[in-house]
Structures are given as structure tokens and as C-alpha cells.
Amino acid sequence: MDIPLRTHATVQGRPTLLRYSRTWDTGISSIAEARDAVAALLARARPAPGRRPVQDAQLVVSELVTNAAKHAPGPCALGLELLPDATALRVTVTDTSREPPRRRPPDPGRIGGHGLQLVAMLSRGLEVTRLSHGKRVTATVPLVPAPAG
């Protein structure tokens, strides 16, 4: 099922929520498509995030969607939700594998296997929830600098 970018109505004076979701029936057809969805959603955010946070969010989405496509057969889904005041983007990827992603120890000589390290560096936490039909991986990518203190 493909649900394009959509805006949810303002509720009791709170900011409008921007969301995107996409489901692929048999694996991911295009990782670039997932990155493009991030850029399109964040282009509608107010205040607009800077270039670097958009790139960070695209990298997180790319890594999580790539892992789902590489390690899980069958359908998978991407959900994006802009948090209030455009402070962060919540990224959710579901797939059919019940195996949690495993962060490998850093090894500068290794080709590949660095994706979860990048996700951990660029997001506020990585949450894995086992589901009856697979798992859901959620990362929250900050779009504004953390307050000093």
C-alpha cells in the first residue's frame, strides 16, 4: 500500500503533524525512493530543518530500509512522522524478520556492516519491537541542535 505524504489536521491549536508511510509487498524497490520521501516530508516542515539534519535523516532511513531489504523476506514498510515544532523525525521500519538488528564492533578495515553504528550516532535511541509477524525498528532523528546544558 502506498500512502503519499499527508498532513493531519491541527488539533486544539497544536501544530499540524506531517506523516508519510509506504509498504512494499516484496522487498524494497528503491532505497532512493525512501530517501526522497524524507526530503519531501522535511521540505514541508516549519520551521524548515537545515541541510545537515535532512541528510542525517536520509542516511538513517537509507540504512534501516536497506537492512530490512537485505535481511528480511517479504513485505516491509516505512513510516515517517515529523514531531511537533519540527524538532525531530521519527523513522519506523517494519519487516518480516524477528531477528533484531545487531550492531557490529567498529572495524575501519571492514567493508560494510557499519550502518547501525551510523544510525546510533545520528539518532536519539534505536528501539526494536518484536511483532507476531516480524519486528519494528524505530529511530528518532533530531532536526535541531540539542539545547546546551
Asked if the structure places residue 41 within a domain, the reply is yes
In this prediction, residue 69 carries a pLDDT of 86
Query: Is the model's pLDDT at 6 over the cut of 90?
Result: no
Residue 148 domain-assigned (yes or no): no
Counted domains in the chain: 1
pLDDT at 14: 52
Q: Determine, yes or no, domain membership for 149.
A: no
The pLDDT of residue 3: 43
Summarised one tens digit per residue, pLDDT across range 23-71 is 887 655 678 899 999 999 999 999 999 999 999 999 999 999 988 888 8
Domain of 41: which CATH number?
3.30.565.10
Q: How confident is the model at residue 17 (pLDDT cuts 50, 70, 90)?
A: confident
Residue 99 within any structural domain of the chain: yes
Q: In this structure, is residue 120 part of a structural domain?
A: yes
pTM of the entire structure?
0.84
Write the DSSP assignment of 30-56 as a string of letters. -HHHHHHHHHHHHHT-SSPP-HHHHHH
**Residue 11: predicted pLDDT:** 36
Task: Tell me which residue range forms the domain holding 118.
Answer: 2-8+15-142
* Residues across the chain: 149
List, in order, residues 6 or more apart from 73 with CB less than 8 Å away.
27, 96, 97
Residue 147 lies in a domain: no
pLDDT at 8 over 80: no
